[in-house]
């Protein structure tokens, strides 16, 4: 897990990026860790501001898409039996939360 009060190194971020649907994305729980918030809170705020996150910025994994990182990365073992598929944020979606959402998340 990334400490939100520490400087994040480029190689730490690169290890969090996957290619799904031909697009480089970051999974919601990793993005929440970068912002230093709970995954649940990140997804709540994104849903409250859904107009700022069209599908080009964020999409939900299918069961098949979820299976790949679960099979290849031990840190996703907890997703194996999850009934909820994670969201994937594209490059635009990663930087999209904006001041309003990020400010709320940091409280």
Q: Which tens digit of pLDDT belongs to each residue from 60-76?
A: 999 888 888 888 888 88
- Whether the per-residue pLDDT at 89 is higher than 60: the answer is yes
- What mean pLDDT value characterizes the chain? 79
How, if at all, do strands 17-20 and 23-27 pair?
antiparallel
pLDDT of residue 100: 52
* Alpha carbons 58 and 7: distance in angstroms, whole number: 25
Contact 76, 70 (CB under 8 A): yes
* Alpha carbons 80 and 20: distance in angstroms, whole number: 17
* Alpha carbons 94 and 9: distance in angstroms, whole number: 16
- Whether the per-residue pLDDT at 31 is higher than 70: the answer is yes
* Alpha carbons 46 and 52: distance in angstroms, whole number: 8
Task: Taking residues 21-48, report their average pLDDT.
Answer: 88
Q: Which of 15-19, 24-28, 62-66, 74-78 has the lowest mean pLDDT?
A: 74-78
Higher pLDDT, 77 or 40: 40
Task: Taking residues 82-86, report their average pLDDT.
Answer: 87
Contact 93, 30 (CB under 8 A): no
Query: Global pTM?
Result: 0.76
């Amino acid at each position: 897990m990334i400490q939100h009060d520490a400087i994040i190194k480029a190689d730490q971020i690169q290890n969090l990026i996957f290619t799904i649907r031909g697009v480089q994305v970051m999974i919601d729980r990793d993005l929440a860790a970068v912002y230093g918030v709970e995954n649940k809170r990140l997804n709540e705020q994104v849903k409250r501001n859904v107009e700022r996150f069209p599908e080009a910025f964020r999409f939900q994994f299918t069961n098949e898409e979820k299976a790949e990182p679960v099979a290849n990365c031990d840190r996703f073992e907890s997703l194996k039996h999850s009934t909820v598929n994670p969201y994937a944020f594209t490059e635009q979606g990663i930087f999209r939360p904006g001041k309003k959402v990020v400010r709320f998340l940091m409280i």
